[in-house]
Structure 1
């Protein structure tokens, strides 16, 4: 099948991304689509750390576990949605991303909102992935 790979690009005539993401991610026809629930900063004991960066650490551990359960890697990720209730330390978040996924950055949306599902939750990250 022609173009049977997930591709990411920043089209000509567009401003450069203001962060680590691409403007468009294309998945080939007949790919399997995976959508995670928003992963949060809860640990294995059901506890939420106080600091945003500790919640980011737990969130990425949870993302890794859910992706690993379907044998998905960075190459499979097509879209990321990030919601946070306080300022994100982008250096820390990107370092956690790069630990798990390297420098593959799919399409991404980030929103700062007033609250998430529980008062303890400071960040929630949803992953969309596909297998070609």
Structure 2
């Protein structure tokens, strides 16, 4: 059982992912599970920038901060849920994404919705992580 690890794969008998994610992630039975609340683009002063890209930067900063509080790293992330209220600049988001992941991507779901918890929130990202 000590050889068990989190594994990610894209089955060869289905289409490749359309983005930087993996179709399936397997978590060993003995892993400890962590689930974050949705992280948003608020800065350290409690302010929300006006642009989505600025909020994306803050959101990834907040994700890294909450993960560090439990000594979690990118390899522990097993699932990411992304909600946005306006069109995402994928080049920009993936620039932040690539700073977190080194091509070993988690499973991911993305949805566009009309609003989030507060009117100024443009993006919210929830993280699921597992640690052996």
Q: TM-score range by the shorter chain?
A: over 0.9
Q: CA deviation at 1:98?
A: 1.2
Offset at 1:104?
Answer: 2.3
Q: Give the SS at the match of 2:58.
A: helix
- How many residue pairs get aligned? The number is 132
1:23 aligned residue: 23
CA distance in 1, matches of 2:111, 2:16: 19
Q: Does residue 10 of structure 2 align to residue 10 of structure 1?
A: yes
Q: How does 1:106-117 map to 2 (within 5 A)?
A: 106-117=106-117
Question: What is the match of residue 90 of structure 1?
Answer: 90
In the aligned structure 2, how far is the partner of 1:13 from the partner of 1:99? Answer: 30
4+ long deviations beyond 4 Å: none
Gaps of 5+ in 1: none
Cα distance, 1:51 vs structure 2: 0.4
| Alpha-carbon separation, structure 1, partners of 2:106 and 2:21 | 5
Q: Distance in 1 between matches of 2:33 and 2:48?
A: 30
Equivalent in the alignment of 1:53: 53
For 1:121, the equivalent position in structure 2 comes to 121
Matches of 1:37 and 1:54 in 2, distance apart?
A: 20
Q: Match of 2:45, SS?
A: coil
| Unpaired segments ≥5 residues, structure 2 | none
2:60 is paired with a residue whose SS is: helix
